[in-house]
């Protein structure tokens, strides 16, 4: 039998490795930003075009590379971070695998310019699909500039799997947030299609959070600080009243590396037990410092998941530290059964000296001295009362000849009956029109039909009703709006405001009225009829989240998604009690829809049980 196993060529092996390292443009951004930080840069610029599909460029003022290092950096498993296997358990840097630049160069056009401080001239290298096109001397400032152009140019199938520019830009922004929040001591600038999205100077951690997520974030933050032999915690958590339905503001950093940990996230949620409404999530920006020997970073291709030696101890310390901070800043309710407010010293008496009370005695007092006068006054009161009751019989004079006639007893009273009008419908139709509806567990509406029983899911049914209503309003461009007496000002991040600007016209067709959209906020002066003023921020927050995760490329689908998101936010929730008229309105409106059987998310809105199926249960 002939030999069938062979070694892969380097360019093929690099493309396979690129499948793990580079999943989308955001992966390139992450690798290049981490390389710049490892190069001890203090100023980092990120330049993006067409959400990274055309260009991803990172410019830093780090230590740069020599001619030899610049050429070797594109080889597989070439790294300056580790030299032997033991170094994997003492990592204090980010990029240590030595596959990033080699994988990126295998699927894109890469231009590298770099220069060290001691060299007079730098090096410029151009690579296309792992092939070095040119390497020459270049005049360039100290540091490194890496430009990645035409991502996936030689793998069209991978390029076709990329999402729209809005979705890809959101992933890039997320990666930028993670790196920028982990390093407030560095300066970052982020450009997209020539416009500046972020300009973050060197600052403290609180200022960095406020600059990234908006000025209103400052009032939401509660500091958390705890230092033990096992773990050091620093950072901030959000106040319970500012919790969100999305997890967009949840960041864990372990030794300045962003990680995802459902186990530690549960510890944070446990600290907020009893403080959050169902379905809401707290915000947190927490830095954890542990011994590098107690964690294993190299267990995930993107290095966002790590393994701890003693997770249970970290869980307990993290939960206790957050609970302590919430209680210390009077965020969590405290019950002190031994404390009595009446013993508190008033502020006006705080600095006054206590005086010794004096006791005075009236030695001439005789309680029996005026006893006769007291008895006389009592008698006078009694006679005065009796004088008023002498003519009590006059109150009952004339009752025999009054209102109730003695000729007709009470039991023979008759009532005037309504005039009977003959119905123009037959009996069967009249019975159908008067069929009652019932609500089961404040979730299902039950009604009868000729063949048996109808069970309607009130939430899904109302979603279908609102979905078709909003689609009609957006398409016809006619919607009634409810003007607000006092406009609502909502704060958003720059990326969120960009989405609102894109959807502004369609939102106005549903009934929203935007008075102004400024740098960090949007002012709303009108909302669709039936939308509570308190729900506006929740609705737009949910809408932005849906758009960021699912935005399609075609305009019709974007409108469709907008209608779905608004219907989901405004629909009657399960657990909400409805009276008879509201139940009948839901039933009648549902069967007036074009597609009453399915909700906007293609789930059944109702089921029917025939009499035969019910009889089989007995």
- The reported pLDDT for the residue numbered 425 is 39
Of 557, 491, 469, 453, the C-alpha closest to 166 is 557
C-alpha–C-alpha distance, residues 505 and 512, integer Å: 9
- The reported pLDDT for the residue numbered 424 is 41
Of 563, 522, 478, 506, the C-alpha closest to 514 is 522
- The reported pLDDT for the residue numbered 113 is 94
- The reported pLDDT for the residue numbered 47 is 95
Partners of 295 in the β-ladder: 308
Distance of CA 360 to the CA centre of its chain: 69
State the Cα angle at 557 between 553 and 560, rounded to 5°.
150
- The reported pLDDT for the residue numbered 201 is 93
Contact by Cβ (8 Å): 460, 445: no
Q: Rounded to whole angstroms, what are the CA distances from 451 to 65, 427, 592, 606, 612?
A: 80, 18, 20, 15, 9
- The reported pLDDT for the residue numbered 464 is 92
- The reported pLDDT for the residue numbered 431 is 35
- The reported pLDDT for the residue numbered 412 is 57
- The reported pLDDT for the residue numbered 384 is 45
Contact by Cβ (8 Å): 454, 446: yes
Q: How many CB atoms lie within 10 A of CB 570?
A: 21
- The reported pLDDT for the residue numbered 275 is 86
Cα dihedral 326/329/335/339 (nearest 10):
160
- The reported pLDDT for the residue numbered 370 is 64
SS3 (DSSP) at 178? helix
- The reported pLDDT for the residue numbered 234 is 93
C-alpha–C-alpha distance, residues 555 and 475, integer Å: 12
Distance of CA 268 to the CA centre of its chain: 15
C-alpha–C-alpha distance, residues 321 and 316, integer Å: 9
Helices (H), 511-576: 536-550, 555-570
Q: What is the largest CA-CA distance in the chain?
A: 137
Model pLDDT for residues 37-62, shown as the tens digit of each residue: 988 899 999 999 998 999 999 999 99
Place of tokens 């990120």: 46
For 70, list phi and psi in degrees, rounded to 5.
-65, -40
Q: What is the DSSP string of 435-460?
A: --EEEETTTEEEEEETTEEEEEEHHH
Domains of the chain: 10-200 (3.30.565.10), 205-328 (3.30.230.10), 439-608 (3.30.1370.100)
Contact by Cβ (8 Å): 59, 45: yes
Q: How many CB atoms lie within 10 A of CB 453?
A: 15
> Which residues in 452-572 belong to E strands, given as ranges?
452-457, 481-491, 513-517, 521-528
pTM for this one? 0.66
- The reported pLDDT for the residue numbered 394 is 65
Residues in the chain, pLDDT under 50: 374, 376-387, 402-406, 421-433, 552-556
């Amino acid at each position: 039998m002939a030999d069938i196993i062979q070694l892969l060529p380097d360019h093929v092996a690099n493309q396979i490795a690129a499948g793990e390292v580079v999943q989308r443009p955001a992966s390139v951004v992450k690798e290049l930003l981490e390389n710049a930080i490892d190069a001890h840069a203090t100023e980092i610029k990120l330049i993006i075009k067409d959400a990274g599909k055309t260009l991803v460029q990172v410019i830093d003022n780090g230590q740069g590379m020599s001619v030899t290092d610049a050429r070797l950096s594109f080889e597989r498993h070439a790294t300056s971070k580790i030299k032997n296997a033991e170094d994997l358990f003492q990592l204090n840097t980010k990029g240590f695998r030595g596959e990033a630049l080699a994988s990126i160069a295998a699927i894109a056009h890469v231009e590298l310019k770099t220069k060290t401080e001691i060299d007079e001239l730098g090096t410029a290298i151009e690579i296309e699909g792992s092939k070095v096109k040119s390497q020459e001397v270049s005049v360039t400032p100290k540091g490194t500039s890496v430009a990645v152009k035409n991502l996936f140019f030689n793998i069209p199938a991978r390029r076709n799997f990329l999402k729209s520019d809005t979705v890809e830009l959101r992933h890039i922004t997320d990666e930028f947030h993670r790196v920028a929040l982990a390093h407030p001591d560095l300066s970052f600038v982020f450009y997209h299609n020539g416009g500046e999205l972020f300009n973050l100077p060197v600052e403290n951690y609180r200022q960095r959070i406020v600059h990234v997520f908006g000025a209103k974030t400052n009032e939401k933050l509660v500091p958390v600080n705890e230092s033990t032999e096992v773990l050091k915690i620093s950072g901030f958590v959000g106040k319970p009243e500012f919790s969100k339905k999305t997890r967009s503001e949840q960041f864990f950093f372990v030794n300045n590396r962003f990680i995802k940990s459902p186990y530690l996230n549960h510890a944070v949620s446990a600290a907020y037990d009893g403080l959050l409404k169902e379905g809401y999530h707290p915000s947190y920006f927490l830095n954890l410092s542990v011994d590098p020997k107690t964690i294993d970073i190299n267990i995930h291709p993107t290095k966002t998941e790590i393994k701890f030696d003693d997770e249970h101890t970290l869980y307990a310390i993290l939960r206790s530290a957050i609970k302590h901070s919430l209680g210390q800043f009077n965020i969590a309710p405290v019950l002190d059964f031994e404390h009595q407010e009446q013993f508190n010293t008033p502020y006006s008496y705080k600095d006054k000296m206590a005086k010794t009370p004096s006791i005075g005695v009236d030695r001439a007092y005789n309680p029996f001295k005026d006893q006769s006068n007291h008895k006389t006054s009592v008698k006078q009161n009694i006679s005065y009362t009796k004088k008023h009751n002498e003519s009590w019989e006059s109150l009952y004079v004339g009752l025999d000849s009054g209102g109730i006639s003695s000729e007709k007893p009470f039991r023979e009273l008759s009532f005037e009956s309504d005039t009977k009008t003959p119905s123009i419908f037959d009996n069967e139709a009249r019975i159908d029109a008067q069929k009652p509806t019932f609500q089961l567990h404040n979730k299902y509406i039950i009604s009868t039909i000729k063949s048996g029983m109808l069970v309607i899911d009130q939430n899904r049914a109302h979603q279908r009703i609102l979905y078709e209503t909003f689609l009609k309003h957006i398409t016809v461009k006619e919607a009634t709006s409810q003007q607000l007496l006092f406009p609502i000002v909502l704060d958003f991040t720059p990326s969120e405001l960009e989405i609102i600007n894109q959807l502004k016209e369609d939102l106005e067709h549903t009934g929203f009225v935007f008075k102004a959209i400024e740098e960090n906020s949007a002012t709303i002066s009108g909302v669709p009829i039936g939308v509570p003023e308190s729900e506006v921020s929740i609705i737009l927050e949910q809408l932005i989240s849906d758009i960021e995760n699912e935005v399609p490329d075609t305009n019709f689908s974007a409108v469709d998604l907008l209608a779905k998101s608004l219907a989901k936010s405004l629909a009657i929730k399960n657990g909400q009690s409805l009276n008879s008229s509201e139940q009948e309105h839901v039933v009648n409106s549902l069967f007036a829809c074009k597609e009453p059987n399915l909700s906007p998310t293609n789930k059944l809105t109702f089921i029917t049980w025939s009499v035969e199926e019910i009889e089989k249960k007995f």
